[in-house]
Homo-oligomer: A and B are copies of this chain.
Amino acid sequence: MKIKLGDFVLLLSPDEKTFLLRIREKRVFGTHLGGINLEDAVGKKYGEVIYSSSGKPFILLEPTLEDRVMKVRRFTQIIYPKDAAIIIFKTGLRDGMRVIECGAGSGALTIALANAVAPTGRVYAYDRDEKFLKNAKKNVEEAGLSELVEFKLREVSEGFDEEDVDVVILDLPSPWEGIPAASRAIRGGGRIASISPTYNQVERTVESLEENGFVLIETVEVLLRHIRVSTGKTRPFDRMIGHTGFLTFGRKKVTI
């Protein structure tokens, strides 16, 4: 499968810097190691090399889900891959599922959700901010996942249009405001996930989940530590992200 005009590549410099770019005609991308004539990539395969104006080799990589998520154009704090990965795994998202995301922000998590439910599932991405929603839409488009996502400009207080969805994800300052509507939208046995930075939010979230018929409620935090591997001097990196958010999960009980 050869790279063609309009494709995205992750360009890797010799000193391991990465750039997520779309291949266009007559476009030179300037780097600290010389200009890259993007058209040079056309006809190459992923994994192959092109050269900068100063003769430095750059590798053409295929953007992964993580690259897409991390390189979105952003107006808001975006989700960390470690948190997105755990949310998708623990809610059990897979092909064909329908998921509501409330608080789409910059669309980083939206991309990950769409990827998980492809090719036949659907993401309903709500946000109250028109500018954010427009940007999220563009980011999802660039990731080639537009057909899987429906964007909705809406206040959380107005509830959701969908019924019997498999999963609801809340990324809101006050998740409890969305939980009653989420409870109505989720099918029996469906899952909810909420992400919040403070323990105070978590406490109110869990209270609201209990009041709204959720069971198997659990809260976790995920710490990712990078290891600097080098023969004879391997060690964890000096710095790490100390906190992003607490993740809370629950499953919907049917109350008759």
A84 to B82, CA, bound (A): 11
Asked whether A56 is an interface residue with its Cβ less than 8 Å from the other chain, the reply is no
Taking a contact as CB atoms under 8 Å apart, the answer to whether A189 and B227 are in contact is: no
Assess whether A226 is in contact with B242, with CB atoms less than 8 Å apart.
Answer: yes
> For the complex, is A52 an interface residue (Cβ under 8 Å from B)?
no
Most buried by B among A82, A187, A230, A248: A82
| Beta-carbon nearest neighbor of A204 in chain B | B231
- Number of copies of this protein chain within its complex: 4
Q: Mark A204-229, 1 if CB is under 8 A from B, else 0.
A: 00110000000111111111111101
B65 contacts A254, C-beta separation under 8 Å? no
Please give, as numbers and ranges, the residues of chain B lying within 8 Å of A225 by CB-CB distance.
220-223, 242-243
- Interface residues contributed by chain A, number (CB under 8 Å): 84
In whole angstroms, what is the CA distance A16 to B218 when docked? 11
Pick the contact of A202 from B227, B248, B253 — CB < 8 Å? B227
Main secondary structure of the interface of A (DSSP, over half): mixed
Q: When A94-B65, A238-B243, A256-B48 are in contact, do A220 and B229 touch as well, CB less than 8 Å? A: no
The answer to whether the Cβ of A198 comes within 8 Å of any Cβ in the partner chain is: yes
Interface status of A88 (Cβ within 8 A of chain B): yes
- Taking the closest CB of chain B, its distance from the CB of A252, in whole angstroms, is 5
A216 touches B92 (CB 8 A): no
Do the beta carbons of B231 and A237 come within 8 Å of each other? no
Asked if A5 is at the interface of the complex by the 8 Å CB criterion, the answer is no
Q: Are B227 and A220 in contact (CB under 8 A)?
A: yes
Question: A19 to nearest B CB, angstroms?
Answer: 13
Q: Does A246 make an interface contact (CB < 8 A)?
A: yes
Query: Residue of B at shortest CB range from A14?
Result: B215
Residues of B close to A67: CB separation below 8 A: 92
Does A180 touch B at the CB level, under 8 Å?
Answer: no
From 46 to 101 in chain A, residues with beta carbon under 8 angstroms from any chain B beta carbon are 46-49, 59-62, 64-67, 81-82, 84-86, 88-92, 94-96
Pick from A25-33, A112-120, A131-139, A153-161 the stretch touching chain B: A112-120
The reply to whether the CB of A34 lies closer than 8 angstroms to some CB of chain B is no
B235–A47 CB distance below 8 A: no
3 shortest A-B CB distances, which residue pairs? A47-B188, A46-B189, A240-B242
Q: List 13 A-B contacts (CB under 8 A).
A: A46-B190, A47-B189, A47-B252, A65-B92, A95-B95, A198-B232, A199-B227, A199-B234, A202-B229, A202-B234, A206-B230, A222-B223, A226-B242
